[in-house]
Amino acid sequence: MARKTPGINTGASADISFLLLTFFLLTSNISTEQGIPRRLPPPTDDKVIVEFNQRNVLRVQVNFLDEIFVQDVQTPINQVKDRAKEFLSNPTNSSNLAKKVVREIEHIGDFPVSEGVVSLFNDQSTTYKTYVEVQNELQRAVNELRDEVASQYFGKKYDLLDTAFQRAVQKAVPMNISEAPPADYNTQQ
């Protein structure tokens, strides 16, 4: 009669495999895309028509050729931030730029808050690179305005302020960027 050969015990190797898998899952980085932070407007009834003063809207459009238009004037990317910043701050109280309303803000006092909204439109064929560049320039405009207010009232940049002071600056310089869904703007301006 033939002798039985002993089998290989694979229980220990299964345990080791499980431990290695657990180790790699716990120690590896799983990248998650965060997107572009934007506060969406509250949902409205489709039958409600929102009326607004055209003076308070800065229209930024990116067409299918990645050309950028601010108020229907072709504008290079390096000027978008300055145009948005000027529109929102309206330093000369021009009647062509956003209206300002004086509001009482905790920790700041009476402050002229812009009612301006930057309205961004982009074509469905706009490249992602251009879209992000325009978004970044608009964000930089708001960030610079917030830094200016923070420095003027608190002597520090916005990022270095305590939460309560940051909220005050956010009320003084709100992030009013509206974004329309991509559409087919295949016409040149």
With H, G, I as helix, E, B as strand and everything else as coil, classify residue 2. Answer: coil
Beta-carbon count within 10 A of 102 CB: 10
User: For position 70, what pLDDT does the model report?
Assistant: 94
Write the DSSP string, 41-68: PPP--TTPPPP--GGGEEEEEE-TT--E
Q: Is this model's pTM higher than 0.75 or not?
A: no
Give the pLDDT of residue 183: 77
Strands of the 68-70 sheet, one edge to the other:
73-74, 68-70, 57-62, 117-122, 177-179
What pLDDT does 189 receive?
A: 46
Q: pLDDT tens digits for the chain (189 residues)?
A: 677 777 777 777 878 888 888 988 888 877 766 666 655 555 656 555 455 678 889 999 999 999 999 999 999 999 999 999 999 999 888 888 899 999 999 999 999 999 999 989 888 889 989 999 999 999 999 999 999 999 999 999 999 999 999 999 999 999 888 887 787 755 444
Beta-sheet pairing, 57-62 with 73-74: unpaired
Q: Rounded to whole angstroms, how far apart are CA atoms 120 and 181?
A: 9
pLDDT score of 96: 87
178 CB neighbour count, 10 Å cutoff? 16
pLDDT of residue 187: 47
